[in-house]
């Protein structure tokens, strides 16, 4: 298994020559959701509707970048494709509900749930047309025994986050890009080790 240092190195290498698009994608993603969230009612509803498709596009961009594929800022809107929009919307809605419900028990169960479902957007991107519940189920299976690894990967960015906050927080766009690319590298490594076979529809039984 790759160490956190090796995953971060993979992320940095994939971002070489791609930093402008990566940062611009994070900026556009944040601006769109921030604007929607500040419009009472209609904006809030709109944010709920578009968050899933936008997140699908953002994760897909970084996954493609880590794999050395040709990517652009336009990939941010891949989730609005007719074949992906509904599944991405449901994925965001259902995962948010489940994480919220687990969080009611205490913060730790909520964090564990978020880590369990963390790979769902990547999985859906690799399997166009996959239903949201199947992506969540497969993410949970994939993360079995690896949640601590991902949690420690996130913790390894604390120093970078603190440093990025100094110039009015503007450095966070670069750090967020670094984090997204590292998590994409984590997914690639995990999939290559344990989930190399393509998606096939499984019997519909869920324990989310």
Answer left, alpha or beta for residue 131, where phi above 0 means left and psi between -120 and 50 means alpha: beta
200 pLDDT above the threshold of 80: no
pLDDT band at 15 (very low <50, low <70, confident <90, very high): very high
88 pLDDT above the threshold of 80: yes
Residue with tokens 């949201």: 132
pTM of the full structure = 0.88
Q: What is the pLDDT of residue 38?
A: 80
pLDDT digits (tens, 9 = 90+) for 110-137: 999 999 999 999 999 999 889 999 999 9
User: Mean of the pLDDT values across residues 95-114?
Assistant: 90
Answer left, alpha or beta for residue 129, where phi above 0 means left and psi between -120 and 50 means alpha: left
Q: What is the pLDDT of residue 203?
A: 43
Query: What residues does each domain of the chain span?
Result: 4-191
> In sequence order, which residues have a C-beta less than 8 Å from that of residue 203 and are 6 or more positions away?
none
pLDDT band at 197 (very low <50, low <70, confident <90, very high): very low
Q: What is the pLDDT of residue 206?
A: 45
Q: What is the pLDDT of residue 171?
A: 86
8 pLDDT above the threshold of 50: yes
pLDDT digits (tens, 9 = 90+) for 31-50: 999 888 788 777 788 888 89
77 pLDDT above the threshold of 60: yes
User: Mean of the pLDDT values across residues 95-104?
Assistant: 91
User: Mean of the pLDDT values across residues 171-180?
Assistant: 93
């Amino acid at each position: 298994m790759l160490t956190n240092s090796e995953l971060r190195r993979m992320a940095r290498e994939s971002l070489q020559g791609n930093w402008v698009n990566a940062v611009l994608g994070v900026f556009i993603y944040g601006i769109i959701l921030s604007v929607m969230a500040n419009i009472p009612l209609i904006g809030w509803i709109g944010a709920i509707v578009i968050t899933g498709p936008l997140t699908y596009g953002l994760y897909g961009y970084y996954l493609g970048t880590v794999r050395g594929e040709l990517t652009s800022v336009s990939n941010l809107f891949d989730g609005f494709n007719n074949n992906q929009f509904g599944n991405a919307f449901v994925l965001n809605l259902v995962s948010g509900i489940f994480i919220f419900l687990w969080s009611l028990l205490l913060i730790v169960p909520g964090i564990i749930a978020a880590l369990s479902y963390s790979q769902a957007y990547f999985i859906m991107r690799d399997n166009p047309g996959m239903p949201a519940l199947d992506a969540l189920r497969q993410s949970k299976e994939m993360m079995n025994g690896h949640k601590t690894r991902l949690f420690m990967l996130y913790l390894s960015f604390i120093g970078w986050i603190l440093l990025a906050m100094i110039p009015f927080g503007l450095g966070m766009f670069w750090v967020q890009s670094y984090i997204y690319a590292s998590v994409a590298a984590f997914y690639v490594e995990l999939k290559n080790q344990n989930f190399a076979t393509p998606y096939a529809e499984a019997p519909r039984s869920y324990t989310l």
